Amino acid sequence: MAFVPVMVPPRADPPSARAQDLGRRLKMEVEKFEAQYPGTSRKDLRDAAALAIGEESVTVPPRRRIAALVAALIAGLGVAGLVLEGKAGAGGGPAPWPVLTVVVAMAVAGVVAIAVARARRGR
């Protein structure tokens, strides 16, 4: 029988009293604004909140999601390369392209892309 470890995320600390007060005030202001401008979308509210706190966007995916996507891309390229190499090897001819080199190049490109993105955000 296989054992699959399960990691339960720790409980987040409840918002501070200051954060709760700010949340109530923001909610009142949003309700006033929506009364003046019916049909205000959630996107407008998210964009306004991002502008208010000085962020480019509130909906930026977390770093873990980006890292998982890069890892999945590299793994997918590796599997595709192994399949192509296996097909070429079955015919007796050499592989159409050096699989390991391409996978390593893609991994390096992913790391460089993440580093550039962090540098642009100032982290």
Residues 44 and 78 placed together within one structural domain of the fold: no
Residues 69 and 114 placed together within one structural domain of the fold: yes
pLDDT single digits (tens) 34-91? 999 999 888 888 888 888 887 665 555 566 677 777 777 777 777 777 777 666 656 6
Q: What is the pLDDT of residue 61?
A: 57
Q: Which domain holds residue 107?
A: 63-121
Whole-model pTM: value is 0.39
Tally of domains within the chain: 2
Q: What is the pLDDT of residue 78?
A: 72
Residue 44 located in a structural domain = yes
Local structure of residue 39 (DSSP, 8 states): T
Residues 69 and 98 placed together within one structural domain of the fold: yes
Calculate the alpha carbon distances from 121 to 5, 50, 109, 114, 116 in Å.
34, 14, 18, 11, 9
Q: What is the pLDDT of residue 42?
A: 86
Q: What is the pLDDT of residue 25?
A: 94
Structure-model confidence comparison of residues 88 and 30, the more confident one: 30
Q: Which of 53, 75, 97 is the last residue of a domain?
A: 53
Residue 114 located in a structural domain = yes
Residue 4 located in a structural domain = no
Lowest-confidence pick of 8-12, 33-37, 106-110: 8-12
Q: What is the mean pLDDT of residues 18-37?
A: 92
Residues 116 and 75 placed together within one structural domain of the fold: yes
Q: 40 near 34, Cβ under 8 Å?
A: yes
Residues 77 and 106 placed together within one structural domain of the fold: yes
